């Protein structure tokens, strides 16, 4: 959430900053701004709207070979020009861009106002610019350290100062900051996406670390607080840049109209990647090396608690049901955003699983820390290597989905499910799951990539159904047991990008309330796998059809919907997904729902990758 870029080198900074910001826009896209330091001093341009609006309105003379930029997701104050970053002091000598939240901003703002400073924005970030400007310390680094010493909260910041025109200073506490090393030039970004076009030699700052960046290199320090004096001290650290193995094309949408479409179609290949080397057919088990748990520890697990937000929470519910069915361990998922506020009971024989594509979601990170504070053990299902959650957990499973840019998660979610399935098989096999069942599931998992491809091959037919659904203002998504989290994720995806009101319900609960809302204007997408519940599910469909509710049924070939499929019978769309093992049904039932959401949003003309009010990774509480 919020994107930061910086540049120092031999080229004009502004075009490079704007290019970098465009690549970070999925992290926040309500306003943007840049500041450059050139012969005429510090110049700032910022405005509400997208990066392209900023680029269009940039003054002709905006020269400078040092600069910082920001794309924002509003927290403190609305998305207007004044609240856009960079923020400066009154004399406009220091410019700051910031990602994160300053918790004591209100107190600091009041203190500054009492001293006669006129604050130009409603933001928490602006206080940093004033605090740095007011510091009397000799070096820029000391001034920033002093300012940061006053601040409580999280930050990734980049600072340019007119009195120190040979450097940028960056610091991190909770929000990512990466330095990219070029040839007589250096880049800064909060996400690799903005760097990989220029360099793959990068250094990730740690929490509590600061760096001075000049055109020729960088030096790092840790921000230590001296207990005796309360002053912040800088101690040199030895951080070196390393090569990252990333294909810059992974950050381009290529021929696709959106990243979401590209990422949807990447799923078969990415699913193979998460399974590769992790399936042991001989013993019918998973082979997850990163868990850092031996067989004895695995056997000692009495309960599993899964924590995640948004789609990661819904796939966590799918994971919980896999764990209960295959490993017979009581498991449940809970929104990470709620967890730590109810003083959770943390038990030593519970395995906590944090699920996050970005590895940055602050609610999930704080939930992990809460568990660890109370002595619990947490593993992570994380996509972004080296991200905050990946570093915080005690072990885990990387998802290998590749960079996911669209806000609506597709390929990462699919790989989360597959990671849960492997974990459930592995936990099951040190308990009651038979070798035959283990092998059955391993074989099923092996078939998934090809079957995902088969579903995606029906995109044109799904687009027709999506068009029909896009007409409705309100929709239900219903499913039971394994199918219920599928319905929840389907509704989430649909509402995120189509802005239609999509509500998920257990099919069994319809008659206890929501049936009152069923009418010819309210379609229901029903998840009806060919499992133990198929007859009951079909009976519920009749109840909906009898009230005139149109039905889209996501099911398996051979499931007999009888009269419902006759003209006027209720079914307006039928989607058959390939059969696999029943336990693995949820992911194959989910794929068409992703495609439906995508095509509904396309039909409605929405910005698919950047749905209103949302951001890809939410790094504030
Ligand atoms: C945001 C996104 C959701 C995503 C959730 C969790 O709310 O808009 O699409 O599911 O964060 O993200 P994570 O990176 O932790 O999986």
- pTM, two decimals, is 0.87
Pick the residue whose CA is nearest to atom 11 on ligand 1: 617
CATH for the 3-244 domain, from 3.60.20.10, 3.30.300.20, 3.20.20.300, 3.30.930.10? 3.60.20.10
> Can you tell me which atom of ligand 1 is nearest the CA of 409?
9
The reply to whether 259-452 shares the fold of 3-244 is no
Confidence of residue 528 (pLDDT cuts 50, 70, 90): very high
Pick the residue whose CA is nearest to atom 4 on ligand 1: 310
- CATH code that applies to domain 458-611: 3.40.50.10490
Buried b (16+ CB within 10 A) or exposed e, 59-87: eeebebbbbbbbbbbbbbeebeebbbbbb
Contacts of 93 (CB under 8 A, 6+ apart): 41, 42, 133, 161, 162, 163
- List residues near ligand 1 (CB under 6 A): 309-312, 356-358, 361, 364, 407-409, 614, 617-618
Question: Contact 597/497 with Cβ under 8 angstroms?
Answer: yes
> Can you tell me which atom of ligand 1 is nearest the CA of 492?
9
Task: Render pLDDT for 76-87 as a digit per residue (tens, 0 to 9).
Answer: 778 899 999 999
The Å distance, Cα 99 to ligand 1 centre, comes to: 17
Q: What is the pLDDT of residue 412?
A: 98
326 or 30, greater pLDDT: 326
Looking at 146-160, 483-497, 592-606, which range is the least confident one?
146-160
Quick one: which of 273, 540, 219, 277 has its CA closest to 401?
273
Task: Render pLDDT for 198-239 as a digit per residue (tens, 0 to 9).
Answer: 999 999 999 899 999 999 999 999 987 655 555 667 888 989
Q: What is the pLDDT of residue 104?
A: 94
Looking at 68-82, 379-393, 473-487, which range is the least confident one?
68-82
The Å distance, Cα 357 to ligand 1 centre, comes to: 7
Q: What is the pLDDT of residue 386?
A: 84
* Best of 27, 311, 396 for a ligand 1 pocket test (most atoms within 8 Å of beta carbon): 311
> Can you tell me which atom of ligand 1 is nearest the CA of 358?
14
Query: What mean pLDDT do residues 122-132 have?
Result: 95
Nearest-angstrom CA–CA distance, 570 and 546: 8
Where do the structural domains in the chain lie, given as residue ranges?
3-244, 259-452, 458-611
> Can you tell me which atom of ligand 1 is nearest the CA of 308?
15
Nearest-angstrom CA–CA distance, 150 and 131: 9
Q: What is the pLDDT of residue 295?
A: 86
Judged by DSSP in three states, 447 sits in helix
Q: What is the pLDDT of residue 175?
A: 86
* Best of 407, 618, 619, 620 for a ligand 1 pocket test (most atoms within 8 Å of beta carbon): 618
Give residue 383's Cα distance to chain centre: 9
Confidence of residue 621 (pLDDT cuts 50, 70, 90): confident
Q: Is the pLDDT of residue 543 over 70?
A: yes
∠ CA 106-112-116, rounded to 5°: 135
Question: Contact 431/328 with Cβ under 8 angstroms?
Answer: yes
Pick the residue whose CA is nearest to atom 3 on ligand 1: 310
The Å distance, Cα 547 to ligand 1 centre, comes to: 36
Average pLDDT, the chain: 94
Name the CATH topology of 259-452.
Rossmann fold (3.40.50)
Share of the chain above pLDDT 70, in %: 99
Question: Contact 596/459 with Cβ under 8 angstroms?
Answer: no
Cite the active site residues.
Answer: 2, 616
Question: Contact 573/465 with Cβ under 8 angstroms?
Answer: yes
Q: What is the pLDDT of residue 619?
A: 74
């Amino acid at each position: 959430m919020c994107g930061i870029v910086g540049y120092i080198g031999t080229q004009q900074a502004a075009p490079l900053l704007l290019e970098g910001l465009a690549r970070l826009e999925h992290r926040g896209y309500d306003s943007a701004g840049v500041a450059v330091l050139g012969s005429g001093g510090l110049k700032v341009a910022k405005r509400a709207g997208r990066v392209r609006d900023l680029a269009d309105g940039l003054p002709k003379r905006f020269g400078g070979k040092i600069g910082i930029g920001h794309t924002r997701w509003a927290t403190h104050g609305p998305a207007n020009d004044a609240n856009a970053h960079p923020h400066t002091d009154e004399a406009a000598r220091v410019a700051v861009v910031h990602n994160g939240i300053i918790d004591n901003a209100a107190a600091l703002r009041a203190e500054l106002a009492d001293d006669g400073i006129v604050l130009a924005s409603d933001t928490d970030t602006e206080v940093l610019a004033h605090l740095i400007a007011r510091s009397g310390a000799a070096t820029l680094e000391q001034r920033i350290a002093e300012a940061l010493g006053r601040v409580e909260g999280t930050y990734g910041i980049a600072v340019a100062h007119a009195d120190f025109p040979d450097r940028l200073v960056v610091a991190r506490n909770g929000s990512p900051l990466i330095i990219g090393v070029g040839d007589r030039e250096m880049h800064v970004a909060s996400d690799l996406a903005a760097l990989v076009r220029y360099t793959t030699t990068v250094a990730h700052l740690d929490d509590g670390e600061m760096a001075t960046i000049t055109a020729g290199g960088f030096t790092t320090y840790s921000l230590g607080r001296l207990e005796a004096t309360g002053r912040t001290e800088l101690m040199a650290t030895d951080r070196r840049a390393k090569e990252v193995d990333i294909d810059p094309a992974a950050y381009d949408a290529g021929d696709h109209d959106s990243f979401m479409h590209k990422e949807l179609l990447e799923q078969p290949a990415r699913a193979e990647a998460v399974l590769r080397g992790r399936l042991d057919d001989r013993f019918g088990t998973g082979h997850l090396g990163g868990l850092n748990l031996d067989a004895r520890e695995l056997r000692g697990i009495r309960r599993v608690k899964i924590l995640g937000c948004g789609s990661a929470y819904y796939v966590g519910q799918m994971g919980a049901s896999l764990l209960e069915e295959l490993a017979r361990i009581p498991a449940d998922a809970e929104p990470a955003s709620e967890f730590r506020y109810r003083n959770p009971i943390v038990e030593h024989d519970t395995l906590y699983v944090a699920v996050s594509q970005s590895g940055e979601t602050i609610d999930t990170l704080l939930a992990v820390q809460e568990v660890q504070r109370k002595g619990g053990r947490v593993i992570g299902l994380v996509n972004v290597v080296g991200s905050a959650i990946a570093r915080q957990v005690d072990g885990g499973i990387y998802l290998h989905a590749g960079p996911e840019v669209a806000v609506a998660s597709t390929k990462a979610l699919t790989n989360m499910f597959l990671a849960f399935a492997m974990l459930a098989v592995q936990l099951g096999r040190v308990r009651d799951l038979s070798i035959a069942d283990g092998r059955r599931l391993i074989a099923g998992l092996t078939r998934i990539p090809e079957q995902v491809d088969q579903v995606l091959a029906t995109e044109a037919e799904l687009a027709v159904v999506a068009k029909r659904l896009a007409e409705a203002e309100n929709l239900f998504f219903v499913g039971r047991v394994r199918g219920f989290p599928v319905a929840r994720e389907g509704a989430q995806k649909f509402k995120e990008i189509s802005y239609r009101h999509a509500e998920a319900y257990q099919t069994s609960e319809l008659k206890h309330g929501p049936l009152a809302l069923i009418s010819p204007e309210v379609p229901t997408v029903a998840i009806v796998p060919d499992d133990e519940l198929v007859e009951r599910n079909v009976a519920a469909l009749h109840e909906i059809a009898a009230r005139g509710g149109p039905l889209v049924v996501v099911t398996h070939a051979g499931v007999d919907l009888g009269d419902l499929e006759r003209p006027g019978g209720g079914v307006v769309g039928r989607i058959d997904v390939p059969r696999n093992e029943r336990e693995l049904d949820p992911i194959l039932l989910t794929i068409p729902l992703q495609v439906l959401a995508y095509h509904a949003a396309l039909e409605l003309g929405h910005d698919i990758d950047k749905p209103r009010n949302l951001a890809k990774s939410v790094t504030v509480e």
